Amino acid sequence: MAPITVNEQGYYGEFGGAFIPEMLHPNVEELRQKYLDLSSQPDFQREFQHLLRDYVGRPTPLYLAKRLSEYYGTTIYLKREDLCHTGAHKINNTIGQILLAKRLGKTRIIAETGAGQHGVATATVCALMGIQCIVYMGEVDIKRQAPNVARMRMLGAEVRPATSGSKTLKDATNEAIRDWINNPVDTHYIIGSVVGPHPYPDMVARFQSVISEEIMWQLEEHTGKKYPDAVIACVGGGSNAAGAFYHYLNEEKVRLIAVEAAGEGIHSGKSAATSVLGTKGVIHGSRTLLMQTEDGQIVEPHSISAGLDYPGIGPMHAHLISTGRAEAISITDEEALEAAVLVSRREGIIPALETAHAFAALKYMQYKPSDILVFCLSGRGDKDLDTYMKHL
């Protein structure tokens, strides 16, 4: 099998590319030409590694979850991205992109956010660097993730509601893209997931790849083996999954399991199960799998988790799933809530609703007692307590 990587035009197999209006071309092209070079410079790497260690708190632990392992009759490790500063993996990427933005001479940052974790992570690095920050967030998400809205405001960011369409992550992304079209010179758009036009999917995956880089050496310390039997992560756009899979992409003995949101049921009409319901098309600048009508209109998704409430999936994941390299499992709102309670009570860790989907996948997975499973515990659940309390 050919190594899984992105080509010059930004394609993973048939997925990817840069389907953008001309007004975005100069910005996206500048990034494409410079992201690899700038991010590999020694001064960039020094600053990036320093901030990941002393500011974010990396490496995050790889924790043997004994009581969960016992419950499921196998060996489960948790990659504790919930312990990152701001409470989720999102900050790995925003640190990388803010350092790039500075080197590109940008003075204004925009971002989209669903659950608010990426918005908080962006507001955080903007405060750290003293750069203006505007976060677009769907009106629906502003209501259901109020604590994160407050955090962004506390950090000095302006939160602008996206009021079109389903008023969720897709629409926040549309608004951020429109802002970038209107502000092409001074602004950098920090996309929070492995979506968007090339080079974003590859760039974000690289910044998040620290997750699997650490898993490799940490797992070896724990078990003497670098390679688990499976890596399991939730997928909305797919950034924590991209980071957790990254260094295992070409190691076929490691199963990659992408867990998406089935909402109220895959065929309920209220779902975000893109791997099942999606067809090939273009969303937010890349050719990928997305939920759409026969006429090519994008369908409004549903998930109880704002971070997974997205009608598409990053092009790398579309490629991994359609070639069979990754397995996709769809989890309903109800199953995710049950898993959140289980993990909270057996490990003393309250996971984010997004992450809870990954844990719920265990009941649909084939695994052996001798297996080693690594879960990416992508974020903590403080922001979801309101939702949890309603369902407890």
Partner 1 sequence: MNRIQRLFQGKNRNILNIYFTAGYPNLQDTETIILNLEKAGADLVEVGMPYSDPLADGPTIQESGTQALQNGMTLPLLFEQLEVVRQKTNIPLVMMGYFNQVMQYGEQKFFEKAAAVGIDGLILPDLPLYEYESKYRKIVEELGLSISFLISPQTEAARVKKVDELSNGFIYMVSSSSITGAKSEISSTQIDYFERINAMQLKNPRLIGFGISSHATYRQACQYANGAIIGSAFIKAVGGSTDVAASTRDFVKGILTA
CA 289 and chain centroid, separation: 16
> Choosing from 39, 81, 90, 260, which is the catalytic residue?
90
Cβ closer to partner 1: 162 or 230? 162
Q: Considering only residues 230 through 269, tell me which ones interact with partner 1, judged by CB under 8 A.
A: none
Binding letters toward partner 1, positions 185-224, x by CB under 8 A: x---------------------------------------
Q: Is the peptide bond before 161 cis (omega within 30 degrees of 0)?
A: no
> What number of residues does the chain have?
392
Catalytic status, residue 90? yes
Catalytic status, residue 112? yes
Cβ closer to partner 1: 307 or 311? 311
**Rule CB under 8 A: is residue 7 a binding residue for partner 1?**
no
Asked if 246 and 207 count as a contact pair (C-beta separation under 8 A), the reply is no
**Rule CB under 8 A: is residue 286 a binding residue for partner 1?**
no
**Rule CB under 8 A: is residue 69 a binding residue for partner 1?**
no
Cβ closer to partner 1: 28 or 210? 28
**Rule CB under 8 A: is residue 167 a binding residue for partner 1?**
no
In angstroms, what is the minimal distance from the CB of 218 to partner 1? 41
Contact window for partner 1 (CB under 8 A) among 58-66, 77-85, 169-177, 261-269? 169-177
**Rule CB under 8 A: is residue 26 a binding residue for partner 1?**
yes
Among positions 296, 364, 382, 386, the unique one binding partner 1 when judged by CB under 8 A: 296
Using left for φ > 0, alpha for ψ between -120 and 50, and beta otherwise, residue 234 falls in beta
Binding letters toward partner 1, positions 333-372, x by CB under 8 A: ----------------------------------------
> Choosing from 81, 112, 214, 260, which is the catalytic residue?
112
Contacts of 46 (CB under 8 A, 6+ apart): none
In angstroms, what is the minimal distance from the CB of 26 to partner 1? 4
Asked if 258 and 326 count as a contact pair (C-beta separation under 8 A), the reply is yes
Q: Give how many residues touch partner 1 by CB under 8 A.
A: 34
Side chain identity at residue 49, one-letter code: Q
Among positions 45, 164, 250, 268, the unique one binding partner 1 when judged by CB under 8 A: 164
Catalytic status, residue 378? yes
**Rule CB under 8 A: is residue 33 a binding residue for partner 1?**
no
Query: Given the rule CB under 8 A, which residues bind partner 1?
Result: 9, 17-23, 25-26, 164-165, 170, 174, 177-178, 181-185, 279-285, 292, 294-298
